[in-house]
Amino acid sequence: MSERVLVIGSGGREHAICWKLSQSPKVSQIYALPGSYGIEQVDKCQNLDAKALDPKDFQAIAKWSKENEISLVVVGPEDPLALGLGDVLQMEGIACFGPGKQGAQIEADKKWAKDFMLRHGIPTARYESFTDTDKAKAFIKSAPYPALVVKAAGLAAGKGVVVAANVEEACQAVDEILGQLKYGQAGATLVVEELLEGEEISVLAFTDGKSVRAMLPAQDHKRLGNGDSGPNTGGMGAYCPCPLISQPALELVQKAVLERAVQGLAKERILYQGVLYAGLMLTRDGPRVLEFNCRFGDPETQVILPLLETDLFDVMLACCSGKLDKLTLQWRSGVSAVGVILASAGYPETSTKGCVISGLPADNTPTQLIFHSGLAVNKDKQALTNGGRVLIAIALDAGLKEAAAKATKLAASISFSGSGAQYRTDIAQKAFKIATASAPGLSYKDSGVDIDAGDALVQRIKPLSRGTQRPGVLGGLGGFGGLFRLNDLSYKEPIIAEATQGVGAKIKLALEHELYENVGYDLFALSANDLLEFGAEPVAFLDYIACGKLNVPLAAQLVKGMADGCRDARCALVGGETAEMPSLYGPGQHDMAGYCVGIVEQSRVLPRFDLYQPGDLLIGLPSSGLHCAGFNEILTRLQELKVNLKDLSPVDGGEDGLSLAHSLATPTRLYVQQLLSHLQNGDEIKSVAHVTHGLLNDVQRLLPEGFETTLDFGAVPVPKIFGWLAGRLKLSAGTLLERHNCGIGMLLVLPHTSQLWRTSLPGAKVLGVLQRRAKTTGAAVQVRNFTEQLQRVAAPFGGLGERELPEELKKLSSKDAVTASRADCFENAAGRRLTRVPGNYKDPILILGTDGVGTKLKIAQQTNRNSSVGIDLVAMCVNDILCNGAEPLSFSSYYACGQWQEELAKKVHSGVLEGSRQANSSFIDSHCAALPLLYEPQVYDLAGFALGIAERSGILPRLSDIQPGDVLIGLPSSGVHSNGFSLVHAVLKRVGLGLNDKAPFSEKTLGEELLVPTKIYVQALADLLSQPNHGIKALAHITGGGLSENIPRVLRKDLAVRLDANEFQLPPVFAWLAAAGNISSAELQRTYNCGLGLILVVSAADADRVLKELRYPQRASLVGEVIARKDPKRPQVVLQNFEAVLAKTQKMVSMRRKRVAVLISGTGSNLQALIDATRDSAQGVHADIVLVISNKPDVLGLERAHRAGIPSMVIAHKDFKTRELYDDELTRNLKAARVDLACLAGFMRILSAPFVREWCGRLINIHPSLLPKFPGLHVQRQALEAGEKESGCTVHFVDEGVDTGSIIVQAAVPILPGDDESALTQRIHKAEHWAFPRALALLAGGTVRLNAEGRTTLPS
């Protein structure tokens, strides 16, 4: 350890070189001339004062090196090499890592370099060189290839290259570089090159002049902004290794580029020792050299050297001594390095010096590095910006995506005071995109969800549904909701009852033993039996089936069991939902929920506690066995005991060959046939209780305050299955009474004189007699003779034990219930909710809908953000029934989980309640169950059931009325909504992003973006649908199946629709999903809503009227039309311009988000609209409000900014003597906040001409009239006095006139009879809240701009 090294330079490249050399055990001391603060912090490093040793005095450097016994001089920048420092050192016998002046020509003289490549057959772009501007421009205009790359032949600090977009730009570059000598004498000779297409990468190599050793390939990012936007720079970041170049291409570069170059230099007698840097374009014809450099690249060096394992000092010394062939370079395997440059404000044109840097890590670590490019410290040791490129933040990780994410996060944690830092957030994204593009495109089916299988199931079960038809049923399966006509029944004052049920872990038993129909029957029986508690007749049933992978024959058998139950009860199976969720359920796993609607005459609603009398009889009807209670614990314990359920049953049926599984899986007894007629007569049955929560608990439900009873099993036999269960599991008698039906499936209360139980109810037993409670203490239910009866049947199986069973069914505490939101909802005597049919309906149709939330739940569970998925649940259901023209009445839910966590359940439930409120629906009930056999501890599933009502004449869709020429009006979605999340999970897995990572398309995390709730459209359409002639022919909720499969649900086969993607906003999340998952446009349209959550079909004559109601408050737009479908093989949905819109949105997402300031003077209602829009990524406003300025203190707008967490300030105009001074202060603060665009939102100040010119094209205003009419003040008064038919608002660029700037967006508002200024102004405010965000979106996204003539134009 005795070698001393001198490094020439002071930038990030030299910092990295010093850092790497310091790791060599052979190096004792490193000097840096002039060095930097960062370099001096590196072990073994010392800066040399430029005043003591002039970096430009090469003789002095040589002398100093000799005097200080320097073993090696490493030259970082190109200038000293081009000026001959290497030659001076070589002449003095000092080893110099870097070529002499002749070798440095390969970078310093672009013309010489191009000629050199031509001489030695090195593949490069075609070119010509010029010293005359006219000749150069003439060549550009006439060249046989796109001659659009214009380069200064000399050194221009990495900035003397212009890649022009067209001939005009190229000629302009010639004028600047050669004509105006923008880069001095470096541009006195000009090279004009062919524009090559492909990806640009850097391959650096070590050479000793004879042999050459390539380093790992890297990719630099030259442009200032994301998406390669903005001006060229010295480099804004790099990553290594770069996977864009294949191994064969690298081998070609080694032979055809690097070796030929070194051999060519040797042939021309040029000694070249150091780094040879090849800047390459990967074209379709192979790699082509764009340029050679004679030194390490910056910032490539900073990401290459951390991956080098070989001692850098050894490599450099070998280059200088001609012994490189003796070395083999070793690189870290399985590691990527990504570096993000932080540049000062104004770079690359200028640099902002002296800004305080905060957030710098204390030290470099093995996985995180900071190298300084232009950083200084003040006397207080504060880090300050001291140049254009200030520092580079580097992260190392096993995965390139992870390294990129960490480097970007590290950059984001560092801030510069004043105007802030500039940095890109897309370093290395090209590698991801190209890797993605070359990977197979993902599809919904690839993610485990097969839409075709779902469609096949619907076709398979349609006959089952038809077999359950009864009076009242309208339509069939396949629509958005199930329909039932109440007037087809004979009820005079019908009351609607609802019941939601699940089968618990019994489904696991059924699946393992192929008893599918049994458990399907269970689901219906449980739901229908529950309705009997109200005295109601079951009339319509819906099912929800969830699974990991849909097995169509299996699911069809489940539904067959439900259909069998429906037929037995004369109830119609009117619809259902099958949810395939591979990330929530494992292979073969299922769960089910059922929902049944019943009708009861108002005078027959049970229970009738008011009719109870002492002596009334408590009657029990026999169960068929265990029914569905407690199977989770039963199956768990039997598995622990290794009981083989395929063995012959030890109880009833075993002698006939039935297995134990068959005995346990005996379907729940259905009591509808036995009881319905007696309930409808209404003479004797006072109350009914379906035994599902354990016999004791359900008896208790029948006892109002003041009554008690004693259950006597003296004459009531206990079925053998309960004896076997008690004996095998060693259960206590008490736990069976609390958790199981014990042989009693239904309870009735009858008058003491009733003989009904004897004459009409086979198997019925008197369990007890109701009595007045003598005392308030003690249990209201006593039991006799049960233990003895149970012991008798348990004795053959080992007798009773002391084990207890846990509670499986759960109930949220009463304080978490919600007050019914509708007047037609009421509670019966037992506290259960029912609904009156609203009196304004003459021929009411009930509309039932069910849905789930899909694997969106997984995102909620993984991020612990569970409070909004309940809104999704309600939205998915009520939006469906809305499509039938329904007014939502009520909502019920099903919640099943692996481990009961009450606080988690409450959060989920709070979302359901909020969704019900938004849907104007009464919340009825939630069926909750803890099922560890079906779900992991932190996992839950949700199903929802919505009930709505419509007048028969208002039922949608009106298929026969839809004709070619009808138009489509679209209501925007809020994002992904709740479909296609299995594909979302697959995309996340492919790109390696986590839910807590920042979304690539917004400022929120991916988890926050993906959990934005599904939009509920009830309130948006309520007023319109309530109008007798609303003009809507059909509504299509865009759910599973996307645009391609949901719109055809409301079309005849002879019709199709043509949509125009230019007419609605494609939310950026879909553009990102398409790019990240390489998802085809067709697959995207078949899976997602693509920005349209609901589509209305209306006649062309009604379109304006409907749009007037929906455009501004709902952001509705006319998105397409109905057309004739002449070829039945052609698709029914044609989406035009989608590819172009998708590409445009993807480009926008890759760009830096615009920083916006809003200037206000008052309430800031337009400010609020802008805040809401910029924070709603679905609206596509690629901007963030970073500053609010008011010229008045204490206004509401400032409070709005504070609530939104947006920095705000008051700049009072009264504090400034002139308008110009005030505006100067505005500009100073806007620039300090790095504002790109400014919006005037009620800013009551006339701005000065200099200010307007300063912000020309970046300053917009909203004015409350349809300009050019009525500029200035009191515009509504002027419009009313002029007798105008309409007014509105205008968003325009601000120029030096009063409201004379070029128009961006206008929104018209009709002037109605009787309007005064106040009424008209209020309606115009709604239009403003639509127009201003829309204009900002157009400007921030680059869709519009102000041209040189002051006109609003689309970019070319």
Catalytic machinery residues: 1263
Handedness of CA 262, 266, 270, 271 (dihedral sign): positive
> In Å, what is the CA distance from 809 to each residue of 207, 294, 503, 806, 935?
76, 76, 11, 9, 15
> How does DSSP assign 1233-1253, residue by residue?
TT-SEEEEES---PPPHHHHH
The structure tokens listed for 861 are 């569970």
Q: How many residues in total does the chain contain?
A: 1356
Q: Which two tokens stand for residue 1338?
A: 């157009």
**Tokens 């819906």 sit at which residue?**
542
Instruction: Measure the CA dihedral 1135/1138/1141/1147, to 10°.
Output: 160
The H-or-E segment that residue 1228 falls in is helix 1219-1232
Number of Cα atoms under 13 Å in the Cβ half of residue 499: 26
Q: What is the DSSP track for 878-940?
A: HHHHHTTTPEEEEEEEEEEESS--HHHHHHHHHHHHHHHHHTT-EEEEEEEEE-TTTS-TT-E
Report the distance separating Cα 1210 and Cα 1227, nearest Å.
Answer: 14
- The CA distances from residue 783 to 704, 708, 709, 772, in Å, are 18, 11, 9, 17
- In 3-state terms the chain splits into helix, strand, coil percentages (rounded to 5) of 35, 25, 40
In eight-state DSSP terms, residue 838 is P
Report DSSP state, residue 1217.
S
| List of residues 6+ apart from 763 with CB closer than 8 A | 621, 622
Q: Specify whether the CB–CB gap between 811 and 926 falls below 8 A.
A: no
Calculate the dihedral angle through the C-alpha atoms of 410, 413, 416, 422, rounding to the nearest 10 degrees. Answer: 50
Residue closest to 536 by CA, chosen among 337, 336, 705, 682? 682
State how far the Cα of 1332 lies from the Cα of 1263, in Å rounded to an integer: 10
Contact of 949 with 886, CB cutoff 8 Å: yes
Report how far residue 561's alpha carbon sits from residue 523's, in angstroms, rounded to the nearest whole number: 9
Q: Where are the beta strands (DSSP E) in 1078-1220?
A: 1092-1098, 1117-1124, 1133-1136, 1154-1160, 1183-1190, 1208-1210
Query: Which residue has 């839809």 as its token pair?
Result: 962
Which contiguous run of DSSP H or E holds residue 205? strand 199-207
Helix extents (H) in 352-413 = 400-412
Q: Which of 1171, 1243, 1182 is nearest to 1213 (CA)?
A: 1243
Look at residue 816 and give its three-state secondary structure: helix
Cα 920 from chain centroid (whole Å):
27
**3-class secondary-structure state, position 568:** helix
Judge contact between 1071 and 946, C-beta under 8 A.
Answer: no
Q: Where are the alpha helices (DSSP H) in 109-221?
A: 110-119, 133-142, 167-174
Contact (Cβ atoms closer than 8 angstroms) between residue 1179 and residue 1001: no
Beta strands 1117-1124 and 1055-1060, pairing class: antiparallel
